[in-house]
Amino acid sequence: MRRRTSPTHPFQDDSHGDRIQKVLAEAGAGSRRACEAAVAEGRVTVNGHRIDGLPAWVDPATDDIRLDGRRIKAPDRQVYLMLFKPKGYVCTNSDPEGRPLAMDLVSHPSHARLYPVGRLDLDSSGLLLLTNDGALANRITHPRFGMHKGYEVMVGGRVEDGEVERLKRGIFFSGRDDREGARTAQSRLVVLKRDAGRTLLYIELREGRDRQIGRMLANLGHPVRKLRRVRMGPLQLKGLQAGQWRELTPKELGLLREQAFATPQQRAARKDDERPSPAARAEARTGRRGGSARDARTARGAGYDSRSTPAKGRAPARRAKGARPQRSR
């Protein structure tokens, strides 16, 4: 029977970093069990020292870790930022027309290559999530997973109750070949303020189509004058001015992941059991902003919080706990 010997490598201080099998697994070298086997077979070196047994603790940021002679690189830190995109910026990493890029408003110390999750048109503003987490981005943007996005929309003309109901039910678009298009997914709609010349709406969608909101309203003869995204799933645009950004708080990220990676059964249960958010307090605000009592009751029932974004001339809402807004210089 082969006698087990104690490791002789110099990486036995647990304050040095993470267990080597964890670092190898996170870098894509295999499962933890497979990485442990690689160590036992003498295939792993750190800073030129062969790891001849476990335990071993390493720091992937500073140590030269190799498996079968190939350098193991630490995975990029995953970054999650909320940006208040102003009007006049495009949501892309490069633009052949030379227009201002929303990405240029962010200078994160990690220097990670970030991508916008979903898009906002050049003339739209509001919440834009930036991350290098492709799996989460796919869950948020793919219609299959039903992640809702909420928008404040100012339109021309007075949107009457009958038109509101038609929008709530979903309307039909014409396809490119003039055939009847697909029906929009059920949306949530709240009238925040309306008069003869304009109407302020809150619209929540669970599917994303090119210029969907503008097309919905254009079908009813109400051109969009201003559009701002104020919600994305559990995230609310608050604590930021246009052009500022901040990291998501741990609580925000946890809620976002929970909703994005929910099972079909959990998503169905959430739709059935969806309760109004603290946004139900919009009744008082909509009354002060000129909406009718009926509009206020509608806002209360839909669970929209108009305080999530600062209105022009008012101080910004209290920012999320632990969040520090940044403005790139």
Element (H, E) at 247: strand 245-247
Neighbours of 85 (CB within 10 A): 25
Q: Report in angstroms the alpha-carbon separations of 167 from 52, 203, 210, 282.
A: 67, 9, 17, 21
Q: CB of 203 within 8 A of CB of 164? A: no
Encoded tokens for 282: 């919009």
**DSSP calls for 38-77:** HHHTT-EEETTEE--SS--EE-TTTS-EEETTEEPPPPPP
How many angstroms separate the CA atoms of 13 and 35, rounded? Answer: 19
Helix-helix angle 134-141:250-260, to 10 degrees: 60
Which class for 98: exposed (0-12), middle (13-18), buried (19 or more C-beta within 10 A)? exposed
SS3 string of 211-234? CHHHHHHHCCCCCEEEEEEEEECC
How many angstroms separate the CA atoms of 215 and 223, rounded? Answer: 9
Encoded tokens for 241: 């001015």
The amino acid occupying position 104 is: D
Encoded tokens for 59: 């720091």
Phi, psi of 190 (to 5 degrees): -130, 130
Q: Is 210 one of the annotated active-site residues of the chain? A: no
Q: CB of 215 within 8 A of CB of 175? A: no
Catalytic residue among 104, 121, 133, 178: 121
Which sequence positions are flagged as catalytic? 121
